[in-house]
Amino acid sequence: MGIEANLNEKEISILSPGGLKQKGIEQPEGAFKTEDETVVFVLSDEKLIGFIALADEIREESKEAIDTLKKQGIKVLMATGDNEIVAKAVSETLGLDGYYAEVMPEDKQKIIKNLQGKGEFVAMTGDGVNDAPALAQADVGIAVGSGTDVAAETADIILVNSNPKDIANLILFGTATYRKMMQNIWWAAGYNIVAVPLAAGVLAGVGIILSPAIGAALMSLSTVIVALNAQLLKRQIKS
């Protein structure tokens, strides 16, 4: 809702629109001039003395990161403490699948619980103290490296460079790694499914048998192929 402090024997409050409403004070006219501004209100001894308009600049990498995630079939939602107007403007600019505005810290955790209750696998990215409960609740918590220590300690993954594109790169890296794992498992399994019965003499009656020497050579070849296939992962990630 805001923050309060005692300054020169006066109680100074800086409140969100929700905090101002809770105190029963009407917002002054002209407080919200543009859609991309977040306005906080300054009170001195419970009297409104002014307001401050704040605007966050959307990073250039954000749109590209979100486009990459959406191409992977991943829904991208935003939960923010900003007002409805700002949240809607940012959501439309970035092409998000949805947003939650004027969200309290505990509400972020509830949002993730609700999504998980619908069977969704949720990854949460945050950087502040108020994001820590949500990061802990998410299936995968991703903390921005430039954020608070509490967020970093709670998260599973920390973005060292604080670059939104790194979130998309994480997904692409994980997908590519899983694909390589499955390829190698199928290669090793396929080799054993064919080679082991032949070495055991299943087809010895028709003159087909795998000698121990050939079996050993194929086993070594299988290991080499699996290792080389895994090395190709580096080329895929760089591309």
What digits encode the pLDDT tens for the residues 83-102? 788 888 889 989 999 999 98
Task: Could you please state the CATH topology (level 3) that the domain comprising 2-54 is classified under.
Answer: Calcium-transporting ATPase, cytoplasmic domain N (3.40.1110)
What digits encode the pLDDT tens for the residues 28-61? 877 766 666 778 899 999 899 999 988 778 888 8
Determine whether 133 is exposed, middle or buried from the number of CB atoms within 10 Å of its CB (0-12, 13-18, 19+). Answer: buried
Calpha distance 27→12 (Å, rounded): 17
pLDDT attached to residue 137 = 92
pLDDT attached to residue 113 = 94
pLDDT attached to residue 132 = 86
pLDDT attached to residue 220 = 76
- Architecture in CATH of 60-164: 3-Layer(aba) Sandwich (3.40)
Grouping H, G, I as helix, E, B as strand and the rest as coil, residue 49 is: strand
| For residues 66-94, average pLDDT | 89
Q: Per-residue confidence at 13, pLDDT binned at 50, 70, 90?
A: very high
The more confidently predicted of residues 84 and 203 is: 84
pLDDT attached to residue 206 = 74
DSSP 27: P
Whether 39 contacts 17, CB under 8 Å:
yes
By percentage, how much of the chain surpasses pLDDT 70? 93
pLDDT at 239 over 60: no
What digits encode the pLDDT tens for the residues 160-201? 887 888 888 888 888 888 888 888 888 777 777 777 777 777
Mean pLDDT of the chain: 84
What digits encode the pLDDT tens for the residues 134-158? 998 999 998 887 666 776 777 888 8
- HSE-CB of 109 using CA atoms within 13 angstroms: 11
Lowest mean pLDDT of 7-11, 21-25, 110-114, 190-194, name the range: 190-194
